[in-house]
A and B are shown apart, each in its own frame.
Chain A
Amino acid sequence: MYPGKYFDNKTAALTTVDIQFYQEYLEFRMNRNGVRSRLSWLYKEINVQSVNGKQLRISTAAEGGLEIDDPECISAFSKLYYANRGYSVHEWLLRLGNKAVYTVALVLLLIVGLCYFVVLPILADQVAQTLPRSFDKKLGELAQSTLDETTDTAGSKLLTAFAGKINWETPDTLTFSVKSSKIDNAYALPGGYIVVYDALLKKIKTKEELAALLAHEVSHVKFRHSTRKLCKDMSTTLLLDLFLGGMGAYSGLYKNANTLHSLSYSRKYEKEADLEGLTLLKDNKIDQHGMLHLMETLSSIKQPVNMPTFLSSHPLTKNRIKYVDRQIKKHPAPAVQNEDLEKAFRKLKELYPS
């Protein structure tokens, strides 16, 4: 016998009743104003609602319902009722309350995390690989048309001549150009457009440094970093919209979280380009230390703000020097003095003296 409260669907009055559970049905007795009565309901004809696992409401279409908050009664009922029915995910959520929810949340979080950190990058890379290289070319042209920069024709010609002396080991057609700007920078657009600003050319002292710089940028093109990053960013947005949008919550903030993460993603690319650049130098018998000197040159350039590693898209120079140094020691290679390259570099330097 368990205590419960009965309502008869006629008025909102509650009557105290004694409930008993059997295999297939439940039965309860009551005493209303001296009138004794007894009702029994089959489990298959009742509707059960659990309120946060603490209260139970059993209702029938015709004869009213019961409110139960005695924990022993609830567990006795649940054992019998759910034994021959099983319950849905929703009922399970409601019955177990917080415990179930945290489990579900944790599992979902793990799935989302796995998707985000493992599946998505792989998938995005797969997608990027199915895209033809001509897509990169178009993307690069598009990007170039939006940039309003003046090309230094004479310098570009000399830079192209310099780059022509090196075997880049890539199927891409590469276009090298010099643009005038006060910023010390160089970049690679997808499809093989490599741009060096004249300010940076003036700071570069040796042909090895310049070769290292170009090798780094060519490696970005070779590994199609821009296209891969684009694919990943797009699929990430889709995934997040699917999960957070469907929940009813929409916060532009998750995009910022994503940006933070995609910065670290590009750092991975930078490292890849550095290491591939070293290999290119080695294969062309150019002194790999050019890469180290390039980094020293870059680090001597005063940056307006000193950003912590996790915020900057390039790995901190100290960091880079460390792994580049390690790589050179691991794969030492003889360097041959290349007169052609030296000549091409000197011509370029005449145009852009230090």
Chain B
Amino acid sequence: MQQVYTPPAPGGLFSSPRLKFIGNGGTYFGILIVNALLCAITLGLYYPWAKAKKLNYLYQSTTLEDSSFTFSGTGNEMFKGFIKAIGLLIGFGIIIGILMRVHVALGIIAYLVGITLLLPFVIHGASRYRWSRTSWRGIRFGYRGDRSAFVALFIKEFLLTVVTLGFYGSWMVINLRNYIISNIRFGSGEFKYKGDGWDFFVLNIKGYFLTIITLGIYGFWWQADVFRYYIDHMTLSQGDRSYTFRSTATGGKFFGVILLNMLIIIFTLGIGYAWAEVNMFKFIAENIEIEGDVVLEQLSQTEEEYTNAMGEDLADFLDLSII
């Protein structure tokens, strides 16, 4: 694992801003249960607002240097996206239905191709919406990826993965990650992700076999390795200054938090889910170290607002989880 060491720039200050999750399980539980109640009463139509409330809470409970993040997306925006997404899926369903009548195989092929083609559009749309609605001290994040470039990349990577019977999967994950993260802006700050498919492949192969050999116990260490690989290859730069990210999570720590969460969920018959999730967020925030000479105060506003939430809602329908 290479460690990028960034020497302090002349005159610059070396700092390590703290990332914290200060939410509490009780409040989060309250939000989830009120959401659940309203969703039940409205037969699910409340969902976009429920989601806005939930994201709002999770974002504002995450702090960097004691200032919290803001999710400014609204239920109304997401409701519009929700309607569009439903319309699109119904249209898609009708087309598949017609093709199925013509020939079953044709329908199935059209379905698979359709979903595969839909995915990159969804990921792109959801990233644009989610990041543009995220801000910190008034400075908006943004996703600058190009739609056609991303779709082309996605299709290429996907086909290679299919052709190699999944072996290329590690490369696909890393290449998509490289593209997406490297296009995220934090005001004038730029994120970069430089991962290597081969390294990630080796990590996964090692994790896979050791997990089998140790009857699953190594799974936690594998997870810690993947997490470290995701975090440690990320940087944030502003002009010629940069921050590096480092994971301090170990397999043992993962084991601890996952075991605790499992016990919470089991012994509360699932009601403790909110507390378990909060534990996980705390764990993640605590285990990311940021270090470098970026001066956060100098980050300036560069990103546009983007209010089309269709991708965000489609992502939910397809059950994609986006951070």
Chain A interface residues (CB < 8 Å from chain B) = 7-14, 49, 51-52, 55, 57, 59, 64-65, 67, 69, 89-90, 93-94, 97-98, 100-102, 104-105, 108, 242-244, 246-251, 253-254, 257
Contacts and interface: CB of A to CB of B under 8 A. Distances in A.
A250 B297 CA distance: 43
Contacts of B60: 49, 51, 57
B70 A59 contact: yes
Contacts of B213: none
Contact of A12 (B23, B32, B136, B269): B136
Contacts of A108: 33, 37
16 contacts: A9-B139, A10-B138, A12-B297, A49-B56, A49-B60, A51-B22, A52-B61, A97-B24, A101-B26, A105-B30, A243-B40, A246-B39, A249-B273, A250-B270, A253-B269, A254-B269
B290 interface: no
B321 to A, nearest CB: 12
Contacts of B36: 243, 246-248
Contacts of B26: 97-98, 101-102, 105
A258 B299 CA distance: 55
Contacts of A102: 26
Contacts of A101: 26-27, 29-30
B53 interface: yes
Interface string B9-48: 0000000000000111011011111111101100000000
Contacts of B266: 251, 253
A8 B36 CA distance: 37
B300 interface: yes
Q: Is the interface of A mostly helix, strand, loop or mixed?
A: mixed
A254 B272 CA distance: 12
A254 B270 CA distance: 8
Contact of A11 (B56, B61, B297): B297
Given A52-B23, A90-B34, A97-B26, A14 B70 contact: no
B90 interface: no
B273 A12 contact: no
B298 interface: yes
Contact of A7 (B23, B35, B137): B137
B296 interface: yes
B219 interface: no
Contact of B296 (A12, A98, A254): A12
A54 to B, nearest CB: 8
B301 interface: yes
B271 A249 contact: yes
A211 B136 CA distance: 80
A326 to B, nearest CB: 37
A102 B25 CA distance: 11
Nearest to B54: A248
Contacts of B301: 9-11
A98 B269 CA distance: 21
Given A52-B24, A59-B138, A254-B270, A247 B33 contact: yes
Contacts of B298: 11-13
Nearest to A93: B30
A51 B66 CA distance: 11
Contacts of B187: 11-12
Nearest to B36: A246
Contacts of B274: 247, 249
